[in-house]
Amino acid sequence: MPTPRSMFGGNLTRSRVPLELTSIDELLRHLCVSEAELQKIWWYRSRMYSEFNISKKAGKSRLISAPDRRLKMIQRALAQLLDGMYQRRNAVHGFVADRSVMTNARSHMRSKFVLNLDIENFFPTISENRVVGVLKALGVIEDVARIVARLCCNNGVLPQGAPTSPVLSNMICFRLDKDLHGVAKASHCIYTRYADDITLSSYQPPVALFAGGVPPTGNFSTELLAPVLVEAFAHNGFKLNAHKAHYGDRNSRRIVTGLKINEGLNVDRRFIRNVRSALYSIETLGIETAQAKFKSEYGGKCGVANHLRGKISWIKSVKGQSDPVFRGIAARFNKLFPAEPIKVQPTRTEMRDRAVWVLEHTHGDWAQGSAFFLEGVGLVTAAHCIQDAVGQEIDLYHPSRPSNIFKVKVRAHHAVRDLALLDHSIPSTEYFELQLSARTHAVGDYLIAVGYPGFAAGDNINVRSGQISSFSVKSTVPLIEVTQKLTQGMSGGPVLDIDGRVAGVIHKGGPDEGRDFAVNTDALMAWLSELVTAVGAPVS
């Protein structure tokens, strides 16, 4: 077992020890624990934990040791003190403020080669004596260190389930993080750690991390790792999990802490399939049968509804509330469990980004423009974007999934007003609708123009800020002149006011035009009224 001095180097840099950890009396006073209660916990702490197993992949299980209410309160108070002492390294993303699995995965976004490793029996490997040692190394006197370790450990090790285990495990890994960072730096790699998940990545094949060249993609034997890498773990009292070493290259799936990083951060599709499969099981078998099946497979105290809620919330945190995959799954969950629905309330930005799409067609000359969904109206674009495609199918897609192409047709168009309505059969979970502006606008008002100029796969929505520079009327059509440049491809997109509501439809502009215009929504509403009068029914 490594000593405190070997863990922290020859010259120990001690954290400032809080007053509450300077003496036994101060500690007990802070925790509101009497000497009699301390004696009880000291000798009978194992009785204060409830243990249960939860199922993992490949039929394995994880032992959870959950402290009772009183002990958990004490441990939470200790965790706050320990958090103040812990000096986080940049590579650490687990159990620290403002860090998460997403920030961990984002650190490797630009890498083309990813090595994933896992520490075997992470928490049980950290003994009570190691906790005492690390606290002493940080300046806590031995008597206090032993009491803290006693309050935080069970059966001589850190229990998985105690509030203090995360921060203490990070303290224990302080030297490991330093050593692995050194290995990564020498190998021109990026190193991060999230609890027991180790990730090293690089833009070039990380040959130096392996003993005899990089292995094939997928799981591989830890015996293929370079000795310097294996020794870094052994030197710090840890052992690698031989079954969880994985290597991915530029042509394979690259996963970091459960997130796919090949093209932006995304949830692994196997995770999505698992959630959908569980929902289907409930829909076909019923809640009671599905709950019994879940209990037999996974054990623990969590019900199937809470289990699924956690997974769906995870999808939401990664993909966003506007994502159609999340919205579709959440809708199915809410139908099954209406008493406690998952809230689907996207931000204004998410709604805007999901309301504006790209349209393309090759009828006549190839044309590309923007279109948007407007509440109570439907799918709107500029007439000149579809002038050669009337009666023909037009491709419409959202940039988040450019391969998922929907076919739409022109329902109505007005060449003079440069407006068009499109018929579509796109599921409502795929898009959001913008709302019409209720403001009376004036020169100088703030506006943003939204669209996809010169769109190519991988491009994001283009948002351009500006102001109203003037109002004009051309051929009886009210126009809004704006200060931002409206380039080719943005035509048909919306111009939004400060409330995020539609004030106009992008008409023309760009470097070949002296001025940049949007058709005022007054023209749109007047045209819709004419259509209603002519058809005798609402156009939407």
The answer to whether residue 11 sits within a structural domain is: no
Distance (Å, rounded) from C-alpha 383 to C-alpha 413?
6
Residue 7 lies in a domain: no
Q: Say how far apart CA 169 and CA 167 lie, in whole Å.
A: 5
CA neighbor of 491 nearest in space, from 504, 478, 501, 474: 504
Residue 307 and residue 254 in one domain: no
Which of 240, 260, 280 lies at the terminal end of a domain, its last residue?
260
Q: Domain check: are 488 and 385 in the same one?
A: yes
Bridge partners (DSSP) listed for residue 246 = 116, 219
Burial class (CB in 10 A: 0-12, 13-18, 19+), 207: middle
For residue 409, the cross-strand partners are 423
Tokens encoding 204:
């070039």
User: What's the structural domain count of the chain?
Assistant: 3
Residues 71-116: tens digit of each pLDDT: 999 999 999 999 999 999 999 999 999 999 999 999 999 999 999 9
| Within-domain flag for 5 | no
Helix (H/G/I), strand (E/B), else coil: 47: helix
Q: Are residues 42 and 176 in the same domain?
A: yes
- Interatomic CA distance for residues 28 and 151, integer angstroms: 11
Strands (E), 203-331: 218-219, 246-248, 255-256, 259-260, 266-267
Distance CA 329, CA 342 (A): 10
Q: Which domain CATH number covers 517?
A: 2.40.10.120
| Together in a domain, 251 and 283 | no
Domain that holds residue 276: 269-336
pLDDT tens for each residue of the chain, 540 residues long: 455 545 444 444 556 899 999 999 999 999 999 999 999 999 999 999 999 887 666 557 788 999 999 999 999 999 999 999 999 999 999 999 999 999 999 999 999 999 999 999 999 999 999 999 999 999 999 999 999 999 999 999 999 999 999 999 999 999 999 999 999 999 999 999 999 999 999 999 999 999 989 999 999 999 999 999 999 999 999 999 999 999 999 999 999 999 999 988 899 999 999 999 999 999 999 999 988 888 777 665 678 899 999 999 999 999 888 888 998 999 999 999 999 899 888 888 989 999 999 999 998 888 999 999 999 999 999 999 999 999 999 999 998 888 889 999 999 999 999 999 999 999 998 999 999 999 999 999 999 999 999 898 778 899 999 999 999 999 999 999 999 999 989 999 999 999 999 999 999 886 677 799 999 999 999 999 999 876 554 555
Residue 16 is predicted with a pLDDT of: 85
Q: Are residues 522 and 384 in the same domain?
A: yes
The reply to whether 4 falls in a domain is no
In a domain, 497, yes or no: yes
Statement to judge: residues 392 and 325 lie in one domain: no
How far lies 22's CA from each of 70, 186, 308, in Å? 23, 40, 45
| Judgement on whether residues 323 and 362 belong to the same structural domain of the protein | no
DSSP code of 301?
S
Q: Which amino acid is at 423?
A: D
Whether residue 514 lies inside any domain: the answer is yes
pLDDT in tens, 474-500: 999 999 999 999 998 999 999 999 999
In a domain, 144, yes or no: yes
CA-wise closest residue to 501 among 464, 427, 446, 420 = 446
Q: Would you say 120 and 240 are in contact if contact means Cβ atoms under 8 Å apart?
A: yes
What span, in angstroms and rounded, lies between the C-alpha atoms of 87 and 46? 31
Please say whether the beta carbons of 439 and 398 come within 8 A.
no
State whether 298 and 381 are in the same domain.
Answer: no
Q: Domain ends where: 239, 260, 281?
A: 260
Q: Is residue 433 part of a domain?
A: yes
- Please state the pTM of the whole predicted model: 0.69
Domain's final residue, options 336, 369, 390? 336
Whether residues 457 and 496 share a domain: the answer is yes
Give the Cα separation of 21 and 29 in Å (integer).
10
Shared domain for 494 and 437, answered yes or no, is yes
Helix, strand or coil, per DSSP, at residue 193: strand
CA 215 to each of CA 115, 153, 181, 199, 212: distance values in angstroms, whole numbers, following the listed order: 10, 39, 22, 16, 8
Burial 307-345 (b: 16+ CB within 10 A, else e): bbbebbebbbebbbbbbbbbbbbbebbbebbeeeebeee
| Whether residue 486 sits in one domain with residue 440 | yes
456 and 492 assigned to the same domain: yes
